[in-house]
Amino acid sequence: GQQVMQIPQYQHVQEGEDFTTYCNSSTTLSNIQWYKQRPGGHPVFLIQLVKSGEVKKQKRLTFQFGEAKKNSSLHITATQTTDVGTYFCAKYSGGGADGLTFGKGTHLIIQP
Amino acid sequence: DGGITQSPKYLFRKEGQNVTLSCEQNLNHDAMYWYRQDPGQGLRLIYYSQIVNDFQKGDIAEGYSVSREKKESFPLTVTSAQKNPTAFYLCASSAGAGGTDTQYFGPGTRLTVL
């Protein structure tokens, strides 16, 4: 299926700094989902965005869906060591259940 | 772990052997999925099933086969035709077959072919 591009691939931050990962698509998305995978673990669902321009917050995490529904971002304020892991965006192509197409993920590394 | 189990956690096989990975869910979900994860590649869809006795190829189905004889079970066979089978295999399920359903992942099986 069509790819979703995620940047950056790796991000090193000092504990307490902010972090942002971006997800871009060449086509309009019906919705977008975000997952987190801890080292050695499996992806865990974080949130889904559906509406144009939608912003959702989960404590220190802020998720945004672009106005054109072609991009999305995840921002973490004041990172903590528990935020370590890989953050994936994922999309359905729309029009049926053909599984999720995942971005390659952003690996967040936090230095204490 | 959302009621999805995968076994075994680690699996070693010799080149040329077929191997079957188990995936069971007790969430009463209709849809089930198999993904493969390689370093730096994200997750790629191998096969998916929307309902019992039905399944569809994903993006990288070559060298793999599946069955869906029961709602709870979606085993994946890695055949000798798969040229590079060493990877982390993740099974997932979702309640419905629609495009907005959350997927719940199992703990995964790390397959190493020697």
Summarised one tens digit per residue, pLDDT across range A13-36 is 999 999 999 999 999 988 999 999
Q: How near does any CA of chain A get to the CA of B81, in Å?
A: 23
- The type of residue at B104 is Y
- Model pLDDT, residue B1: 46
DSSP state of A19: E
In the numeric block, which tokens belong to residue B49? 């099933």
Residues on chain B touching A50 (C-beta within 8 angstroms) = 100
Task: Using a CB–CB cutoff of 8 Å, tell me whether A2 touches chain B.
Answer: no
Is the bond into B8 cis (omega within 30 degrees of 0)? Answer: yes
Higher pLDDT, B97 or A88: A88
The C-alpha atoms of residue A37 and residue B33 are separated, in whole angstroms, by: 17
- Which residues of B fall below an 8 Å CB-CB distance to A? 1, 31, 33, 35, 40-45, 48, 50, 56, 58-59, 90, 94, 96-108
Higher pLDDT, B16 or A78: A78
Among chain B residues, CA nearest to A88: B42
Q: Please compute the mean of the pLDDT values over residues B96-103 and round it to a whole number.
A: 80
A106-111 vs A10-14, strand pairing mode: parallel
Backbone angles phi and psi of A83, in degrees to 5: -80, -10
Contact residues, A window 9-48, toward B, CB-based 8 Å cutoff: 9, 30-31, 33, 41-45, 48
* A48-104 pLDDT per residue, tens: 999 999 999 999 999 999 999 999 999 999 999 999 999 999 998 655 556 788 999
Strand blocks (E) in chain B: 4-7, 10-13, 19-25, 31-38, 42-51, 54-57, 64-66, 76-78, 87-94, 104-105, 109-113
* B17-37 pLDDT per residue, tens: 999 999 999 999 999 999 999
B84 contacts: CB under 8 Å, gap ≥ 6: none
Substitution target in B43, B44, B76 with the highest count of A β-carbons within 10 Å is B43
* B32-82 pLDDT per residue, tens: 999 999 987 789 999 999 999 999 999 899 999 999 999 999 999 999 889
Residue among A28, A4, A2, A1 at smallest CA distance from A88 = A4
Tell me: pLDDT of A10 over 50. yes
Is the bond into B39 cis (omega within 30 degrees of 0)? Answer: no
